[in-house]
Amino acid sequence: MSFKTEIIERNNVQVIGSGSKVLLLAHGFGCDQNMWRFMIPQLSSDFKIVLFDYVGSGKSDVSQYDKKRYSTLDGYAQDVLDVCQALELKELVFVGHSVSSIIGLLASIQKPIIFSKLVMICPSPCFLNFPPEYLGGFDKEDLEELLNLMDTNYIGWASYLAPLVMGTENSESLVTELSDSFCSTDPVAAKTFARATFFSDYRHILKEASLPTLILQSNDDALASVAVGEFMKNEMAHCELEIVKAKGHCLHMTHPDSIAPELIRFVNL
């Protein structure tokens, strides 16, 4: 099996749309590439869009899961680089949700030549509080309890985690095809991803950012506050911060109409 075929299967890579510019959309912790489906109608006519699932999420090949590799965000950054190498992508715009923003930044620092710009949706370089100088929003005990919550919910779901039924109003073929894996991540992989996401501190790499970057932050997000967005903007060179008047951490799902034009504008700058 060639490297290309192997990675396409391993990371469930999908390529849609057409255009000279390539957008690589990277899902955050919790779900999978389906998170992007609300944005795709607005992007696919102008851009070539590459979607993928990190190993351990969505419809990736779970047999390739390596707990050690995916215990830090570098392992996920390697997934990004593998996908780029497999598809021979260059000059791409990386769009990451939440933790994927940092994963993309790590990948771009490692192989800057592949990337042209970064778009970060609700990013945070560190979810932990280090008072007084930095408030990521959460204490260690909160995050330990989160891991516990993931466990209890897995037990709770296990009895009926057979394919999740779609709402009748969602008729797109893409959705029907891929929906059964949505959020039904393998528990070991999900907990490892949670630990890598929420216990890490990547504030120090922000200074190494060199690409033009757009941060889209909600003005009311329980996970990544406006202050975190401002902190990132101050640390990173060539960084633009847009505060979107919205509630929640999943702007690309809840407010695709507000953020898609911003994203398109920034990509075409």
Nearest alpha carbon to residue 115 among 199, 184, 23: 23
Instruction: Write the interaction track for another protein spanning residues 171-190; mark x where CB under 8 A is met and - where it is not.
Output: ----x---x--xx-------
Of residues 60, 98, 101, 184, which has the active-site annotation?
A: 98
Cα–Cα distance between 122 and 258 in angstroms, integer? 14
Minimum Å gap between C-beta 21 and another protein is 27
Nearer to another protein, 170 or 210 (CB): 170
44, 64, 254, 258: which one binds another protein (CB under 8 A): 254
DSSP labels, 117-174: EEEEES--SB-BEETTTEE-SB-HHHHHHHHHHHHHHHHHHHTT-SSPPPPTT---HH
Q: Is 16 among the residues that bind another protein (CB under 8 A)?
A: no
Contact 175, 37 (CB under 8 A): yes
DSSP labels, 89-114: --SEEEEEETHHHHHHHHHHHH-GGG
89, 119, 221, 228: which one binds another protein (CB under 8 A): 221
139 labelled catalytic? no
Of residues 200, 221, 225, 252, which has the active-site annotation?
A: 221
66 labelled catalytic? no
Looking up tokens 């990132």 gives 232
Q: Is 11 among the residues that bind another protein (CB under 8 A)?
A: no
249 labelled catalytic? yes
Of residues 97, 249, 252, 255, which has the active-site annotation?
A: 249
Contact 137, 228 (CB under 8 A): yes
Reported as type and span, the H/E element at residue 241 is: strand 239-247
Q: Which of residues 32-61 bind another protein (CB under 8 A)?
A: 34-35, 37-38
Q: CA torsion sign, 250 to 253 to 255 to 261?
A: positive
Q: Is 260 among the residues that bind another protein (CB under 8 A)?
A: no
Q: Is 152 among the residues that bind another protein (CB under 8 A)?
A: yes
148, 176, 219, 234: which one binds another protein (CB under 8 A): 148
Kindly state the tokens that stand for 129: 């509080």
Supply the residues annotated as catalytic: 98, 221, 249
Give contact residues for another protein (rule: CB under 8 A).
1, 3, 6, 28-31, 34-35, 37-38, 98, 137-139, 142-143, 145-146, 148-153, 155-157, 160, 164-167, 169-170, 175, 179, 182-183, 198, 220-223, 247-250, 253-254
